[in-house]
Amino acid sequence: MSATQTNGSGPKALDAIIIGAGFSGLYQLHKLRDELGLNVRVLEKGAGIGGTWYWNRYPGARCDSESYYYCYSFNKEIEQEWEWSERYPEHPEIRKYLNFVADRLDLKRDIQLETKVVGASFDDATNTWTVETESGETFKAPFLITAVGCLSTTNVPKFKGLEDFKGKWYHTGDWPHEGVDFSGKRVGQIGTGSTGIQAVPVIAEQSKHLTVFQRTANYSIPARNAPVTQDDIRLTRTHYDDIWRRARASTNGHPFTVSEQSALAVSDDEREEIFEKAWARGGLRFRAAFSDVLMNPKSNEVASNFLRSKIKEIVKDPEVAERLTPYDHGFATKRPPIDTNYFDTFNRDNVLLVDLKKEPIVEITEKGIRTTEKEYELDIVVFATGFDALTGALLSLNIAGSKGYQLKEAWAAGPRTYLGLQTPHFPNLFTITGPGSPSVLCNMPIAIEQHVDWITACIKDMREKGLKRIEAEPDAAEKWVEHVNAAADATLLPMASSSWYLGANVPGKPRVFMPYAGGFARYTGICDEVAQGGYRGFSLS
């Protein structure tokens, strides 16, 4: 039976509290409320649902996964009813989709918006979490589930003088809902990751002048965005079962068939032809052209060289092309961006590239940005500088577990979880797509569904058996962290020293490879075995 809410100003009693109303929170609410019949509340700091897609409204913001599989797979009716308009949906369309799902499942009545969680603490005597919000409301429940996303705490570098800047500045991950008018403006953009690469072409078109401040040159594959046709829709709808089967059996949760061939097993001409085809098709699928691009340094080098040659083909000024060409890391060892006219944009007269490796930023001034070489006068600065990824949002919740142990303490040397689902000493706390799970290395909705399904089944089992407490064992977490490191070390991923996968983009953050790189299908198998084995590595009571 569900707990009931306390009247008056005391804590509201629930069966489960979910923090965040993006892809994860919505699905978790549906599962716990509509399948298990629990009394659940979602606490969401935004004024609307959508999570990442509520905040990320910068120019050019669209999904890098293709629309037909960047969506939920759990509901056949929704799957058959919803129609995407583009190969890569733009941010308003993804919000529309999530609102459609939330309305269809009547989720909004259990979502409390504009409710920022500022603290959560566990009481060992009652096995209950108490969650506190910024406005002073409190909620109590045996289970606390974070659905806060992996890329939701913005990283604004602490440049000297930012407060003196007379123009306007924005971070892409906290973009004004009314948009930004760039017309007639001199804009400076810092950052050339996936976000920056999406924003540059659009801002260049809309502004008088754009200066791009690049610290690390990046590879990018053309997205080849296009409208979705009625034929595409019919085909996808007919084949959804197969699409999801392939996605679940894959390494990255994308329904692609990855080539079984090494990039070194073919002749130079054949390899070139295969890369050309993958380039022409566009998108993240480029990685699947050969089996070992992320495993074998030589295969990675041939892929990287192909992409370097493309930059030189597209960018007319050889000096600019050279500055845009990455040499310090191999293709896809950092999250590979996909783009629409990114490199071509540097052929425009109103775009300037500043190489921060040659002239680092010294300070932000009243008028703009001063590097070691000169002052660039600007009206607007755009920070496309990424996120305090994977741990930032979780640590900002001020979580205190068993005996008051702080999550900040537990993760002082980097996140230490068991399966990315739980952290020792934090009983009954589940972290959807937490560090140590495939999360950001995956097509997110698939990774989210797998976690939510596992958590829901676990809570159901516990309730059926009358168990009140589940907690990851320290030994199991220790071994899992070792396995996460070994899985990363078996790939080339840890070699990109400036990668946010390693926390390298945030000064002072521990350098630990955070997501699980062992593959989505393998990970799912491990989680299933753990559950079937009576939750091996967890203590239950």
**Whose Cβ is closer to ligand N01: residue 94's or residue 421's?**
94
Which 232-291 residues touch ligand N01, going by CB under 6 A?
none
Across the strands, what pairs with 188?
Answer: 211, 381
CB of 328 to ligand N01, least distance (A): 9
Token pair listed for 381 = 């600065």
Single-letter code of the amino acid located at 277 = K
Q: Cβ(197)–Cβ(218) under 8 Å?
A: yes
Which of 38, 49, 50, 64 contacts ligand N01 by CB under 6 A?
64
Per CB under 6 A, which region of 3-11, 193-201, 318-326, 453-461 contacts ligand N01? 193-201
Q: Residues in contact with ligand N01, total (CB under 6 A)?
A: 24
In the complex, least distance from residue 335 CB atom to ligand N01, rounded to whole angstroms: 3
First vs last Cα of the chain: how many Å apart?
A: 20
For 172-181, the CB contacts below 8 A with 24+ separation are: 172/56, 172/58, 172/61, 172/196, 172/199, 172/382, 172/383, 172/384, 173/55, 173/56, 173/58, 173/387, 174/55, 175/55, 175/56, 175/57, 175/58, 175/61, 176/57, 177/57, 179/57, 180/59, 180/380
Tell me if residue 446 falls in helix, strand or coil.
Answer: helix
Complex with ligand N01: residue 440 or 517, whichever CB lies closer: 440
SS3 for 20-57 is: CCCHHHHHHHHHHHHHCCCCEEEECCCCCCCCHHHHCC
Task: Give the shortest CB-58-to-ligand N01 separation in angstroms.
Answer: 9
Minimum Å gap between C-beta 354 and ligand N01 is: 10
CB of 196 to ligand N01, least distance (A): 5
Distance CA 34, CA 54 (A): 25
Given the complex with ligand N01, which of 170 and 405 has the nearer CB atom? 170
Per-position x/- string for 87-126, each x denoting binding to ligand N01 as judged by CB under 6 A, each - no binding: ----------------------------------------
Which of 63, 71, 393, 502 binds ligand N01 (CB under 6 A)? It is: 63
**3-class state of residue 57 by DSSP:** coil
Residue 498 in the binding site for ligand N01 (CB under 6 A): yes
Instruction: Spell out the SS3 assignment of 118-146.
Output: EEEEEECCCCEEEEEECCCCEEEECEEEE
- Could you give the C-alpha distances from 218 to 203, 275, 282, 338, in angstroms and in order? 18, 18, 16, 10
Of the two residues 69 and 129, which places its CB atom closer to ligand N01 in the complex?
Answer: 69
Candidate residues 311, 440, 446, 458; the one interacting with ligand N01 per rule CB under 6 A: 440
Report 280-339 residues binding ligand N01 (CB under 6 A): 335
CB of 163 to ligand N01, least distance (A): 16
**Minimum Å distance from CB 296 to ligand N01?**
23
Q: Does 390 bind ligand N01 (CB under 6 A)?
A: no
Q: Which of residues 147-186 bind ligand N01 (CB under 6 A)?
A: 151, 157
Footprint of ligand N01 on 370-389 (CB under 6 A)? 384-387
Residue with tokens 């490199």: 343
Report the nearest approach of ligand N01 to the CB of residue 70 (Å).
Answer: 8
Q: CA torsion angle for 373, 165, 171, 206 (degrees, to 10)?
A: -80
For residue 309, CA distances in Å to 84, 305, 318, 419 come to: 34, 6, 11, 40
DSSP letters along 302-321, please? Answer: HHHHHHHHHHHHH-SSHHHH
Of 88 and 182, which has the nearer Cβ to ligand N01?
88
Q: How many CA atoms lie within 13 A of 22 on its CB side?
A: 24
To ligand N01, the closest distance from the beta carbon of 485 in angstroms equals 21
Choose between 159 and 426: whose C-beta lies nearer to ligand N01: 159
Residue with tokens 């053309």: 222
Is 192 a binding residue for ligand N01 by CB under 6 A? The answer is yes
The residue (of 193 and 392) whose beta carbon lies closer to ligand N01 is: 193
Annotate 500-535 with DSSP letters as a single string.
GGGTTTSTT------S--S-HHHHHHHHHHHHHTTS
Check binding of 190 to ligand N01 (CB under 6 A): yes
User: What is the rounded distance in angstroms from the CA atom of residue 15 to the CA atom of residue 141?
Assistant: 5
Identity of the residue, 196 or 494, whose beta carbon is nearer to ligand N01 in the bound complex: 196
The residues facing 227 across adjacent strands are 86
Q: Which of 211, 220, 251, 505 binds ligand N01 (CB under 6 A)?
A: 505
Say whether residue 196 binds ligand N01 (CB under 6 A): yes
Angstrom distance (rounded) from CA 491 to CA 511: 17
Min. distance of Cβ 64 from ligand N01 in angstroms? Answer: 3
Shortest gap between Cβ of 142 and ligand N01 (angstroms)?
33
194 near ligand N01, judged by CB under 6 A:
yes
Q: In whole angstroms, give the CA distance from residue 230 to residue 249.
A: 28
Give the residue with the Cβ less far from ligand N01, 187 or 458.
187
Torsion sign (Cα): 88, 94, 98, 101: negative
Residue from 20, 142, 191, 415 in contact with ligand N01 (CB under 6 A): 191
- What is the gyration radius of the CA atoms in the chain, in angstroms? 23
Rounded Cα distance, 407 and 531, in Å: 25
Does 435 help bind ligand N01 (rule: CB under 6 A)?
no
Under the binding rule (CB under 6 A), the answer on residue 216 touching ligand N01 is yes
Query: Quick one: which H or E segment has residue 106?
Result: none
User: Contact between 437 and ligand N01 (CB under 6 A)?
Assistant: no
State which residue, 278 or 338, has the beta carbon closest to ligand N01: 338
Q: State the nearest-atom distance from the C-beta of 385 to ligand N01, in Å.
A: 4
Stretch that binds ligand N01, among 189-197, 277-285, 512-520, 532-540 (CB under 6 A): 189-197
Using CB atoms, what's the residue nearest to ligand N01? 193
Check residue 195 for interaction with ligand N01 (CB under 6 A): yes
Binding region for ligand N01 (CB under 6 A): 63-64, 151, 157, 190-196, 198, 215-216, 335, 356, 384-387, 440, 498, 500, 505
